Each structure stands twice: as C-alpha cells, then as structure tokens.
Amino acid sequence: MRILVLGAGVVGTAAAYYLASDGHEVTVIERHPAAARGTSQSNAGLVSPGDATAWASPAALKTFLRALYNHDLGIKVRLRFDPYFFAWSLRFLRQCTQARLRANTDIKLRLALYSRDCINAISADTGIHYDERKKGILYFFRSQQSFDSGTDNYRYLAQHGLPIEIVGRDRLVELEPGLAGAKDRIAGGVYSPIDQTGDSSQFTQNLAAYAAEKLGVQFLYGTSVEGLDIEGDRIRAVMTSTGPVAGDAVVISMGPESGLLGRRYGIDLPVYPVKGYTATVPLEDESKGPTMGGADEDQLIGYSRLGNRLRLASTAEFTGFDRTHKPSDFAAMFRTGKELFPGAFDEKKAELWAGLRPMMPNSVPVIGRARYSNLYLDTGHGHVGWTMACGSGKFLADLVAGRNPEIDPQGLVYRG
C-alpha cells in the first residue's frame, strides 16, 4: 500500500519507519522544513516508563482546580473562552477516579515498557545515536512527607512490571554523584534502572534520514495539510499546500493539531495542547552535572544529560495553541537547576524553547482505525510522547498488517 503519514515528529517518523519496514510505500507530509521541528524538538529527554502514572487522578483533580487561581504551580490553567478546553476538562475530570487512574496507568506502563525496547531495537538495527544514556532515572522528593506519600504510585508500577529501588539520600547520591551538593535538600527517591535518556530531536532526524535512504520513505517538508478528500468511507487524497497527495491509507500523527483536523471530519479525538518549557544549556563543568536523568517531584522539574548539555524541563500550561515564551517563564527552572547542580552551567548560554504536548483526557494515546476504512490515528501521547512513540509505531504497523500486536491492545486501540 501507499501510506501517507501526517507529521514528522517522533511519533509519525517512528510509524513511517515501521510501515516502510513492512514493505509499504510511505510518504510523510510535514509543514516544517525538517523532522522534529514541532513537539518533538525539545522535551525533558527522559525515556521513562517510571513516569507512566496517568495524570488524571483524585489528587490531580485538586491540583487542577487550584491551578485555576494559583499560577505558581507547575500546572497552570489560563481561563479563556475555549469551548473545546471546557469539553476536554469535563472528560479529564471523569477520569479522576482511583479506578480510572489504575486502568489508564496499566495501559501506559505496558506501552512505555514495550516502547523502550523498540527504541533500543531501532538504535541497534539502524546504528543511529541520539546522545543516549542507559543509566536509569531518579525520581526524588524534598520532604519526608512527599517522599512517604509519593512512592505509592511507584510501588504500584513495580507491582506491574517496573523494576525500582526506593532509596534514601545516601544511596541516591551514591547513584548520582552530581546531586551531592543538594543532598541535604532531598529526603529520598525512587531509582528506575531500566529508564534511560536521549535527545528525541536527534533520534527523529537520524531515523528520518535512515528511513529515507534505506527504506525509500519520501518526506514532503514545508508542506501543510489543508484537508482530506473523502469519497464514501474512504480517503482518496490529502489536500496540501502544494496540491493533493493520493494514497491507499492515511495516518494522523500531527501532535496537538490532530484534534483540529479530526474534528473537521467527525472524528471524536479529544487531543488538547499542553504547553511545556525547556532550557538546554552547555555544561561549564561536566563533573558538576548529572550522570543520568532525574525528576524533582516536588518542584515538577525534569532533567537529563545529553552529551555535554543539560536539559531542564518544566510546567504543564493550558493556554491553547500559544507557543510564545519569555525569560521569566524559565526562572523557577533555572533556580532549581542551580540548587541541584551548583556551578554546572551558565543560564545565560541556555537555548530556550516552549512547545505543545498533545494530551488526551485519560493520558492514553489513541492508535488504530478511525471512522473511515483507510484512516488511522497514532497521536495523543501527551507528556511522555518520546517514551511511547516507537512502541506506538510498531503497534500501528501491526494493526495495519493485520497482525496481533505484541502487547495487549485492550484499552489502547482507538474505538471512537
């Protein structure tokens, strides 16, 4: 088949790789001038099954409501007239039960563990590199109270297949010498040894180059999707800024824009953009930086070591499709970074970025056929899109080929 993939982020590029590996003729349509220039351009750099806990929970309900009036939280909600946001919020609130939290987390964890293996298999099979480090990730807490209560979710993940070690501050610093200067600020944490880190932008660009050269995937960069040409129950072509592109099947992997396109054609796809901020800064003294990835659970800031660079990431802001940022948006991030790794970097040299994560109300991506007989979805991966992208691509390719996916599809296959 000739398959059109809409979007050359890490999700769409991974899908294109697996579909082309199955022998399909694949064309990727991307509005940016290169791969990974949108959502996949920057994130915390964490490939983190340890972060598989779904956002929607009884605790998140309280945080979500507080964010309506307290803009100092890591989660920020800017009230504005947006009927789509209110509809999304109602769906989110319906997921904020203990039963839904566990069900959604189970699905995310299975996909995240599977996807981590897929990322490593792609790297081994293609030889591509992306400043990867396979040393694990530390999730730590500053107070004894947050440490005691915060480990519950990780214990649940451990019961369902994630290896973890709950560590005190001495063991934590033994694992991560870079945190020695902040030892007294940390009560303890959770070490997930199978988690890893890497630059999603490098991965996506290198995989796109490999797919084009070795698998014949055609990338139409600088080409915007304007609509779908539909006849009966099939899509005949994708209408683009450079004209129609015909295909036998279409995959929507357009990040936060997926919902906008889907709604035009009656597809129930409640993807909403959640804005995140990152700063990437060269390490002035590499010995003072981290050796692995981590997350400050009290400050809601993640970080990773990417070669000789430090990546900091923070904030989940509901502000529509606004991608702008200003220096003050990064103040808390730099303050925390300096507390954790004093003397490691000069914030004046940082590359600042803000982008949108495509979030589903239940934190679970949507994969599978949607409404039309030859239309597929692979989108809605939210804050752990880098972690779940490759597993989603393999899962989608299995569905297109009529194979039974290697992981349990219940709850993951799109049924809208």
10 is in an annotated binding site: yes
242 is in an annotated binding site: no
6 is in an annotated binding site: yes
103 is in an annotated binding site: no
DSSP H or E run through 368 = strand 366-369
Summarised one tens digit per residue, pLDDT across range 271-315 is: 999 999 999 999 999 999 999 999 999 989 999 999 999 999 998
Summarised one tens digit per residue, pLDDT across range 201-260 is: 999 999 999 999 999 999 999 999 999 999 999 999 999 999 999 999 999 999 999 999
Contact partners, residue 68, CB within 8 Å, separation at least 6: 77, 79
Is residue 331 pLDDT above 70, yes or no?
Answer: yes
Q: How many residues comprise the chain?
A: 416
Query: Residue 218 corresponds to which tokens in the numbers above?
Result: 């055609």
221 is in an annotated binding site: no
413 is in an annotated binding site: no
Query: Residue 196 corresponds to which tokens in the numbers above?
Result: 């890893």
Q: What is the rounded average pLDDT for all residues in the chain?
A: 94
Instruction: Give residue limits of the domains in the chain.
Output: 2-401
12 is in an annotated binding site: yes
29 is in an annotated binding site: no
Residue 65 has a pLDDT of 65
Residue 59 has a pLDDT of 82
The CA distance from 316 to 166, in Å, is 27
4 is in an annotated binding site: yes
Residue 70 has a pLDDT of 57
* Section 45-53 average pLDDT: 96
Residue 367 has a pLDDT of 96
9 is in an annotated binding site: yes
The CA distance from 170 to 342, in Å, is 19
Beta bridge partners of 276: 355
313 is in an annotated binding site: no
294 is in an annotated binding site: no
262 is in an annotated binding site: no
For the chain, counts of helices (H) and of strands (E): 10, 20
Is residue 357 pLDDT above 90, yes or no?
Answer: yes
Burial class (CB in 10 A: 0-12, 13-18, 19+), 80: exposed
Identify the band that residue 154 occupies on the pLDDT scale cut at 50, 70 and 90. Answer: very high
Q: What is the CATH number of domain 2-401?
A: 3.50.50.60
Quick one: angle between helices 10-21 and 200-215, nearest 10? 30
Is residue 399 pLDDT above 90, yes or no?
Answer: yes
Give phi and psi for 98, each to the nearest 5. -65, -40
* Section 367-378 average pLDDT: 95
138 is in an annotated binding site: no
